């Protein structure tokens, strides 16, 4: 039995075209990678808080912020928190913050 060729609809595309158009873009991969790193860092901060035996509410009181601010930080929303909030979080747990500026191979410790 001979198969007859059907006309290809105008909107049809080859698999290679579909595959190429759905590949993730480098900038979206980098953004996702940064988001995951923020979440890992936030989880580490949460572990320190829990090891200190503090609730989010207790830590928020020490920092003079609201509990949702602490929660946001512990969910990895580092960009929204800002350096002042991160510093307050760390210091409220008895830690210190060290800022390192990187210029290629050169590192400068700021504080």
What does the block give as tokens for 35?
Answer: 């988001």
Q: Where are the beta strands (DSSP E) in 1-111?
A: 100-103, 106-109
Q: Are 77 and 38 in contact (CB under 8 A)?
A: yes
| 15 domain residue, yes or no | no
Cα–Cα dist 2/10, whole Å: 25
| 18 domain residue, yes or no | no
| 43 domain residue, yes or no | yes
| 8 domain residue, yes or no | no
From 105, 99, 94, select the one nearest 62 (Cα to Cα). 94
Q: Could you report the per-residue pLDDT of 29-69, keeping only the tens digit for each?
A: 888 898 899 899 999 999 999 999 999 999 999 999 999 99
Give this prediction's pTM.
0.67
| 98 domain residue, yes or no | yes
Q: Could you report the per-residue pLDDT of 75-84, keeping only the tens digit for each?
A: 988 777 888 8
Q: Are 88 and 65 in contact (CB under 8 A)?
A: yes
| 10 domain residue, yes or no | no
The H or E element that residue 18 is part of is helix 15-21
| 74 domain residue, yes or no | yes
CATH number of residue 58's parent domain: 1.10.260.40
| 77 domain residue, yes or no | yes
Number of domains in the chain: 1
């Amino acid at each position: 039995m001979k198969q007859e060729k059907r006309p290809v609809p105008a909107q049809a595309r080859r698999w290679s075209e579909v595959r190429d158009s759905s590949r993730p873009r480098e900038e979206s991969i980098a953004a996702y990678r940064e988001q995951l790193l923020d979440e890992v860092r936030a989880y580490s901060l949460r572990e320190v808080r829990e090891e200190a035996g503090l609730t989010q509410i207790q830590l928020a009181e020490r920092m003079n912020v609201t509990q949702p601010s602490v929660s946001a930080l512990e969910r990895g929303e580092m960009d929204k928190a800002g350096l002042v909030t991160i510093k307050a979080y760390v210091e409220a747990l008895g830690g210190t913050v060290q800022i390192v500026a990187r210029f290629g191979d050169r590192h400068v410790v700021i504080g």
